[in-house]
Amino acid sequence: MAVVSIVDGLDCFAEDFKGITLHGSKIKRAEFEACTFVSCDFSETFFLSCRFIECRFENCNLSLVKLTGTKMSDVTFVSCKMVGIDWTMCDYKSLLSAEPLRFVESILNDSNFYGLELEDLVMKECRAKEVDFREASLKRADFSGTDFKGALFENTNLEYANFRDAQNTYIDIRRNHLKKATFDRYEALFLLEIMEITLV
Residues 165-194: tens digit of each pLDDT:
999 988 998 899 999 999 988 777 777 666
Amino acid 113: pLDDT: 97
Give the CATH number of domain 100-200; options: 2.40.50.100, 3.90.1300.10, 3.90.550.10, 2.160.20.80: 2.160.20.80
Q: Are 156 and 133 in contact (CB under 8 A)?
A: yes
* Per-residue confidence band for 91, with pLDDT thresholds at 50, 70 and 90: very high
Q: What is the pTM of this model?
A: 0.91
* Per-residue confidence band for 2, with pLDDT thresholds at 50, 70 and 90: very low
Pairing of strands 162-163, 102-104: unpaired
Contacts of 14 (CB under 8 A, 6+ apart): 33, 34, 35
Give the CATH number of domain 1-73; options: 3.40.190.80, 2.160.20.80, 3.30.565.10, 3.30.70.141: 2.160.20.80
Q: Is the pLDDT of residue 101 over 50?
A: yes
Where are the CATH 2.160.20.80 domain residues in the chain?
1-73, 100-200
